[in-house]
Amino acid sequence: MNPLAEEKLTSAVLTQLSNCKDARLKSVMEALVRHLHQFVREVEPTPGEWMTAIQFLTRTGQMCNDKRQEYILLSDTLGVSMLVDAINNRKPEGATESSVLGPFYLEGAPEVTSGVDLAPGEGPGVVVRGSVKDTHGRGLPGAVLDVWQTAPNGLYHMQDGDQPEFHLCARVAVGNEGCYQFRTLKPVPYPIPTDGPAGELLRKLGRHPYRPAHIHFIVSAPGHKPLVTQLFTRGDPYLESDAVFGVKSSLIAECKSQGDEWTVDYDFVLEPLPAA
């Protein structure tokens, strides 16, 4: 009997993995082969369709550079990033929930103290304030908030040559009681980049590319697990249809009008690192 006949092919490939010394890699690849082969059996793609898929993934890689990660964008729009995030961030009761990092985080933002204005002379502005606490409600004075967002034109600083480097980005050190405050620009909804394969797929699927208004955070403190998350604006029209599925109800904050500007109050709660 031909061992590579259609019905025997999956087991033949799995047999070839038996000598893999890396147990985790072996487990992952076995699952990948089983599910990928089942997908092919269900869909029954033609050779031309399979080549189209390969070319799509090739173009996805070609869009990647040091300032843009198209594969992250594709993962985000398929909901995979949020699923991986959810599996790896099952929070204890009371701890702030996580959300996706996104493809536009760049290390090296300036380090500043609480009370900083990230957009002097620009508006409309929003003052974001609150505290960083542990799960017992105690302030964490050594905490740092790594903050980034788009400008009102919907672009992050690395996407827009007209913005200064690290515009609306900072590493904000909290005060002695774990309290923080900073002023930035009021976030706006914006479309994710649609000039690459991820955007092409959205159009063909009849999906919009918009994300609700939000500010990104990485919140860290000694002895606690870093938190990657986002704060969203209540009432935004895209909260229920975020293109990357990043919204959680606990991360929606009230943006209150204060004269010509706005305020947001939000406390972050970090979970402790596991005991060594």
**Domain that includes residue 259, residue range:** 80-270
Judge if 22 and 127 occupy the same domain.
no
Q: Is 89 exposed, middle or buried (0-12, 13-18, 19+ CB in 10 A)?
A: middle
Judge if 121 and 237 occupy the same domain.
yes
Judge if 95 and 35 occupy the same domain.
no
Judge if 153 and 33 occupy the same domain.
no
Q: Which helix (H) or strand (E) holds 253?
A: strand 252-253
Between residues 2 and 171, the one the model is more confident about? 171
- Token readout for 253 is 């904050």
Judge if 22 and 115 occupy the same domain.
no
238 located within any domain: yes
Give this prediction's pTM: 0.89
pLDDT of residue 67: 79
Query: What is the tens place of the pLDDT at every residue in 139-185?
Result: 999 999 999 999 999 999 999 999 999 999 999 999 989 999 999 99
Query: What is the tens place of the pLDDT at every residue in 89-146?
Result: 999 999 999 999 988 899 999 999 999 999 999 989 999 999 999 999 999 999 999 9
Report the number of distinct structural domains present in the chain. 2
Judge if 198 and 263 occupy the same domain.
yes
Task: Specify whether the backbone of 26 is left (phi greater than 0), alpha (psi in -120 to 50) or beta.
Answer: alpha
128 located within any domain: yes
Q: Quick one: pLDDT band at residue 1, thresholds 50, 70, 90?
A: very low
60 located within any domain: no
Judge if 36 and 156 occupy the same domain.
no
Q: What percent of the chain has pLDDT over 90?
A: 91
66 located within any domain: no
Judge if 168 and 232 occupy the same domain.
yes
Q: Note whether 9 and 37 are within 8 A (CB).
A: yes
111 located within any domain: yes
**Nearest of 227, 240, 211, 234 to residue 267 by alpha carbon:** 227
Q: Quick one: pLDDT band at residue 2, thresholds 50, 70, 90?
A: low
Judge if 130 and 249 occupy the same domain.
yes
Judge if 6 and 115 occupy the same domain.
no
Judge if 102 and 198 occupy the same domain.
yes
Judge if 100 and 21 occupy the same domain.
no
64 located within any domain: no
**Nearest of 148, 178, 182 to residue 165 by alpha carbon:** 148
